[in-house]
Amino acid sequence: MFNAAHDIKGEAATFGFPAVAPLAESLCRLIEYTPDLDRIPMTLIDQHVDAIRAIIREGARVDVAEIADALTRRLREVADEFLRHENRNRPDVLEEILAPPLAPGQAI
């Protein structure tokens, strides 16, 4: 799952769907920073996948960027909340998760 999400994140713009990259990146973070992968709620993974599918399916809509931004923000909030909880006893990992992005304009 991580490899697929990582590939989507890296190739989204190339295939004409740049709005799915942040969603794929959120899924990558979720998988990368969860200490016990069995604890990731399947519904949270499904929501990321469904959001990516929806953005691709609705790619021709004029408001797709707004929809993608809203989906990305909400899923990132939920994923970050889960990661904060799962890593509450790992301050070094929490610091990395909560650090602001290095590149300007990236979602926090």
Residue 107 lies in a domain: no
Number of domains in the chain: 1
Residue 108 lies in a domain: no
Q: Which domain holds residue 85?
A: 2-98
Q: Collect the ranges in the chain with pLDDT lower than 50.
A: 108
Amino acid 105: pLDDT: 54
Amino acid 99: pLDDT: 78
Residue 85 lies in a domain: yes
Distance CA 54, CA 56 (A): 5
Amino acid 63: pLDDT: 86
Residue 105 lies in a domain: no
Residue 106 lies in a domain: no
Contact criterion met (CB below 8 Å) for 40 and 76: no
Mean pLDDT score across all residues of the chain = 90
Distance CA 10, CA 5 (A): 9
Amino acid 41: pLDDT: 96
Mutual angle of helices 42-57 and 64-86, in 10-degree steps: 170
Residue 6 lies in a domain: yes
103 HSE (CA, 13 A, CB side):
3
Residue 89 lies in a domain: yes
Contact criterion met (CB below 8 Å) for 20 and 68: yes
Residue 104 lies in a domain: no
